[in-house]
A and B are shown apart, each in its own frame.
Chain A
Amino acid sequence: MGDYLEKVKRAVTDLDLDAIAPLVRDALDSGEDPNAILQSMCAGMVGVGELFESGEYFLADLVLAGEGMKEGLEVLEPRLQAGSMGVKGAVVLCTVKGDVHDIGKNLVGTMLSSTGYEVIDLGTDVPEDKVVEAVRANNAVAVGLSVLLTPMVESIGAVVRALEAAGLRDQIKIAIGGACTTDELARRMGVDAVGRDAVEAVRIFDGFVGA
């Protein structure tokens, strides 16, 4: 039985897209616990993250890994018990108002949902009041803001101020990422962290929730 779990994990890490969903199906048919299969897939994603950090994998490989996870979860999800996913808490993600770039944000979402977070993805060009609304509605533990374009960086400050005004800032951590983000910008905007890529984002959010 355990052999399937290792195969699922390896297929995710090796980006073997054709194999992931059939292996998950075989694992279920052989009686593996769906939660154990999910954990194997997540362990495979951790392997992807390690290969990315060591320079063997690239941005496109994270996309492929995300696609593999999606295909595997389509098979697995109907068999999972409620609450199996998103155990680390809800995270609200968006690309800030005025900016429509979403590759980085989508990858962060894939990595976070693959490592135990419930991801509330609000999309692109999102005004600050929508972020506040989503944080409140989902009892989110953290917010991730993506921005590529320098002229749009002030939208980060707008989210911070809106969360303050709503009385939510003290209970929530905020991370930013994207081409124009720097430590200096993070300080100036009053956010808690800046991430360089989707793999670092997982470390940052794990640090936020003490995972």
Chain B
Amino acid sequence: MSASHERVRAALELREPDRVPTFDLMNEFSTDIEILGKKPSPLGPLIANPRVSDLLDKVLPHVNTAFVLDKVLEQLTNLGAEAAVRMGYDSVWLPYFPVLRLADSRTITDIFGRVNDFAMDEKGNMGNPIYRTGLITSPSAWDAWDKKPIFRLPEKVNRVFGRIQKSFGERLFIFGFCNYGIFESIWQPMGFERFVISIRKERSLIDRMVRFYTDLFCVLLEAEADAGIPGAIYTDDLCYRSGPMLNPKMIEELFGDSYRRITETAHSLGLKIVIHSCGNTESLLERFADWGFDAVHPLEPTAGMELSRAKELVGDRMCLIGNIDVSHILVDASREEVFEAVRRAIHDAGPGGGYILGPDHSHPAISVERLRWMVEAGREYGRYPLSV
């Protein structure tokens, strides 16, 4: 087992590794190409050209975009792994998300019924799609939805992660990511308001969708494990900045059994599984541990999450990942500020093991230089026995 693997595994198992491991959070395309010193190829100005966008609007709905897009997405996954190696990270949250479909020059849908906008940074580089609305507007829309592309997903995930693991798996502990969690997979294609009202008025639809996405996630875990990937990310944004979006009792009622089944499936396959939920998750942390997740990310500081408090609540049951701020620290802070943020994070979450250092999110304004400082500071302060 490589040093990185041993380091990450020790932290996930709440043992002290040789030093605090580092975690790369699926960078934006522009960040990866900057890390790798590649030339950016901004699409923004091209799409902004009315002639080009008119042409794309006419052509894209009629071409089979899945083949081309899936290849592009695999290249982006490779790029992410390459960038993580170049940065010297121990682990990486690596997305391969072959679910997108180009609708027109501005819109990208997915096979689950989300409608997203193309995101471009200020230089015109492509960013992660931005969710706008959904297409599953009724029980009959769900019945009529073409699910064949969804059924093909596990095979694609298995094939591509197999290749990725072969190329990068020795050097990096890869946390695979190939689908959103059950809550997001249901509410986003419906819209949040409709989802909430459906819990009251169309409960059987919600229950059917929960069962569908639980089964799908478990099969995807099988596909990832079969590809040799050691970890998986389960991302479900259950919270916003001041707390859970739903009553925790309702979360337990709707999704508790599914979450337990997902973690049991992962563990039975030898996979470590991390729950990612944005927002202030403090009131859910103990449930995350009860459900069986090995680690929690991102512990977002702008939502009021404090590592010391999280350590106190669940540090003896779950590994903590992230918490390095992306609103200031990894965007425009001084080197001293970055080092101090890392020192404080390791001080609060590192004792006894069970902490993996990393950003709490990714966005195009994150500075590569500051990411390097973060990794450097992790090496300086993260050696066990800690002296921070």
Contact = CB atoms under 8 A, between A and B. Distances in A.
Interface of A: 17, 55, 57-61, 63-64, 66-67, 99-101, 103-104, 106, 124-125, 149-151, 179-180, 182, 184, 196-197
Interface in B242-272: 242-247, 250
Given A60-B196, A151-B363, A179 B250 contact: no
Contact of A59 (B130, B197, B246): B246
A196 B241 contact: yes
A99 B131 CA distance: 10
A93 to B, nearest CB: 16
A198 to B, nearest CB: 10
A180 B242 contact: no
Contact of B243 (A58, A67, A125, A182): A58
A59 B326 contact: no
Given A58-B246, A59-B246, A150-B363, A64 B197 contact: yes
A186 B197 CA distance: 34
Contacts of A180: 302, 327
Given A180-B302, A196-B242, A61 B247 contact: yes
B34 to A, nearest CB: 15
Nearest to B127: A151
Main secondary structure of the interface of B (DSSP, over half): mixed
Interface residues of B, number: 33
A67 B241 contact: no
Contacts of B376: none
Given A103-B192, A182-B327, A150 B365 contact: yes
Given A106-B193, A179-B279, A179-B303, A197 B363 contact: no
Contacts of B279: 179
Nearest to A178: B241
Contacts of A101: 130-131
Nearest to A150: B363
Nearest to A104: B240
Contacts of B328: 184
Interface in B112-165: 117, 121-122, 130-132
Given A55-B243, A59-B245, A60-B245, 8 more contacts: A17-B197, A59-B244, A60-B246, A63-B192, A103-B240, A151-B122, A179-B279, A196-B241
23 contacts: A17-B197, A58-B246, A58-B247, A63-B192, A63-B197, A64-B196, A67-B197, A100-B132, A101-B130, A103-B192, A103-B240, A104-B240, A124-B132, A125-B117, A150-B326, A150-B331, A151-B121, A179-B302, A179-B303, A180-B302, A180-B327, A182-B302, A196-B242
A179 B243 CA distance: 12
